[in-house]
Structure 1
């Protein structure tokens, strides 16, 4: 029964999150909330709401391993999405067509933020303020500063994506956004609770369930976004949606820490989260390499870095399992 609830919750989360993203885009374009920064926050928040809901529920049931593993695992799975899509469409040579100046700040910020998490997991001292790890204040502060340097091209990309689908009135979009958010909240909670029970019944570690099973489920809306972008041949939007979502997920770690009242949440985890954080860093470095390297004409040589990303992801999954 727990398997059925887990799978059903995952399907509902994916469906509702896709609608959430669609309605959120309409709101950002048709309301006074318009603007590159606010629009990016709204869309990133919409696609990341499943991760937030699932992690907050995990905190409520006192399972910080699922709470943090979901966030870190979602970031890794998002990068896997880009690698797999790049492999499948390797003849298009997606990274050869991407403007490196537009995406490098986001990618480098992702590496920096993830390394801060790695440092917090490695360093032995527990330095917190109001039961919130000091690393969370650093992450939020750097994120606010980084948004000032983000590319202005994201708004055009989002508008182009919206134009490809069905449009709605502002009132319809607001109602739809609220309904979809409530569905995501309910299904995300069920996903986290059933995942916790799944770990107990099968003997799998909570960190594995959070970092790979739940993370994969909550990252499927990003997969839909990437596939839509690839259909439009908008490779910048495909990569930008993943990198932007990853940055936002790391900010949601701070929100999770606020609700975890037993101290800094990163200091309450099992040791298995460090490999996931290091895996995310390695995959980000490979992404930066692909964005900056010289164009490759041979399809196989072009796809080698993506192949490496896929291999190390499944190797890490097997190791943690």
Structure 2
């Protein structure tokens, strides 16, 4: 058991470090090639913070553990909103100034509802995976178009520009880009092995491990990025990273097992986990949209979100431990 626990913790640590190296190298490479900060932030940063979830989903699916992949996708979305934004808002209340973030909020809610409807028949099959991955292509196309044709100066662009490394050569940038990918692949394999072994030892399902330990571990890059952004007075990035990550989780992380390992979905996903994820997404939209002025997640709302996370973890414990 100690070997599996060390593998799990080492996998988490390497995933976080590898994701940070990958984002740094990719963002610097894109900057040196003349890509705008807004486009870099909306694509590379969004993909990079979701890279751990995507790689874990791929490895779990290839390892014939689709439940772990599904749990990771849904659990990460719940963790991102309830835990990450909750803790971040308690530390530093978050205000929304970016028009891009406002546009992405209803799209995230719509994508969340579509994913729920695709799973409502109790299966995640090839057609579902194809629809989700097609949605990913559509989303990326829209984001790239937005980054290329945006005429209004979005406040989030200046925040992204401040975060992109400016002191790296192209060769060094490419090195960290490729090395980050290698670390992500290796650490995701290590993490999946450790997680599956621990699940079997404790007699819990891959789904529950994915919803809890793995979801928390793969969301660590978003937690670090959101807190760091908030402390630097970059609230739009803090919220935008969560929105982008949740979109990638729904379309890519949930789509991958549908393509590689179509399978039945645990009934608890539909009755317990998906409703919680949808409710938290609605709450995020209400808080961050700003129907009567500027969108803002204050400390009280952050406390409510954190309480929801604790309540959800308690629900998982009492519904899975006999």
TM-score bin (small chain): 0.7 to 0.9
- Structure 1 pair 167–68 and aligned structure 2 pair: CA distance change class (3 A): farther
Deviations 1:67-88 (A, max 9, x none): 1111221122111201111012
Question: Residue 28 of structure 1 corresponds to which residue in structure 2?
Answer: 30
8 Å contact 2:126–2:259 — kept in the other structure?
A: no
Query: d(CA) in 1 for partners of 2:307 and 2:233?
Result: 26
- Structure 1 pair 41–257 and aligned structure 2 pair: CA distance change class (3 A): farther
Give the deviation of 1:316 after TM superposition: 1.6
SS at match of 1:272: helix
8 Å contact 1:74–1:219 — kept in the other structure?
A: yes
8 Å contact 2:122–2:266 — kept in the other structure?
A: no
Question: Residue 242 of structure 2 corresponds to which residue in structure 1?
Answer: 242
8 Å contact 1:5–1:191 — kept in the other structure?
A: yes
Task: After TM superposition, list the pairs within 5 Å mapping 1:207-218 onto structure 2.
Answer: 207-218=207-218
Give the deviation of 1:144 after TM superposition: 4.7
Question: Residue 219 of structure 1 corresponds to which residue in structure 2?
Answer: 219
Question: Residue 84 of structure 2 corresponds to which residue in structure 1?
Answer: 81
Deviations 1:277-317 (A, max 9, x none): 22222112111221215579xx9x94333222222222222
Query: d(CA) in 2 for partners of 1:245 and 1:126?
Result: 21
Give the deviation of 1:255 after TM superposition: 3.5
- Structure 1 pair 192–128 and aligned structure 2 pair: CA distance change class (3 A): closer
8 Å contact 1:77–1:219 — kept in the other structure?
A: yes
Query: d(CA) in 2 for partners of 1:318 and 1:28?
Result: 43
Query: d(CA) in 2 for partners of 1:127 and 1:184?
Result: 27
8 Å contact 1:66–1:206 — kept in the other structure?
A: yes
Number of residues of Structure 1 aligned to a counterpart in Structure 2 = 304
Question: Residue 190 of structure 2 corresponds to which residue in structure 1?
Answer: 190
Give the deviation of 1:38 after TM superposition: 5.9
Give the deviation of 1:30 after TM superposition: 1.0
Deviations 1:83-114 (A, max 9, x none): 1110123xxx323xx22643222111111111
Deviations 1:206-251 (A, max 9, x none): 1121012111111111112112212211111111111112112222
Question: Residue 281 of structure 2 corresponds to which residue in structure 1?
Answer: 284
Task: After TM superposition, list the pairs within 5 Å mapping 1:2-21 onto structure 2.
Answer: 2-21=4-23
SS at match of 2:267: coil
Question: Residue 315 of structure 1 corresponds to which residue in structure 2?
Answer: 311
Give the deviation of 1:143 after TM superposition: 2.2
Question: Residue 139 of structure 1 corresponds to which residue in structure 2?
Answer: 135
- Structure 1 pair 13–134 and aligned structure 2 pair: CA distance change class (3 A): closer
8 Å contact 1:286–1:305 — kept in the other structure?
A: no
Name the stretch that deviates more: 153-162 or 132-141.
Answer: 132-141
- Structure 1 pair 27–122 and aligned structure 2 pair: CA distance change class (3 A): same
Q: Please, what TM-score do these two structures have when normalized by structure 1?
A: 0.84
Deviations 1:255-290 (A, max 9, x none): 343322xx3x5xx22123232222222112111221
Q: Please, what TM-score do these two structures have when normalized by structure 2?
A: 0.84
Query: d(CA) in 2 for partners of 1:258 and 1:50?
Result: 19
Query: d(CA) in 1 for partners of 2:129 and 2:197?
Result: 28
- Structure 1 pair 133–15 and aligned structure 2 pair: CA distance change class (3 A): closer
- Structure 1 pair 125–308 and aligned structure 2 pair: CA distance change class (3 A): same
Query: d(CA) in 1 for partners of 2:305 and 2:37?
Result: 34
8 Å contact 1:58–1:66 — kept in the other structure?
A: yes
SS at match of 1:123: coil
Query: Structure 2: which 5+ residue stretches go unaligned?
Result: 318-322
Aligned alpha-carbon RMSD (Å)? 2.7
SS at match of 1:233: coil
Name the stretch that deviates more: 105-114 or 310-319.
Answer: 310-319
Give the deviation of 1:121 after TM superposition: 2.0
Give the deviation of 1:138 after TM superposition: 6.0
Give the deviation of 1:32 after TM superposition: 5.0
Deviations 1:3-30 (A, max 9, x none): 1211121111112212222222211211
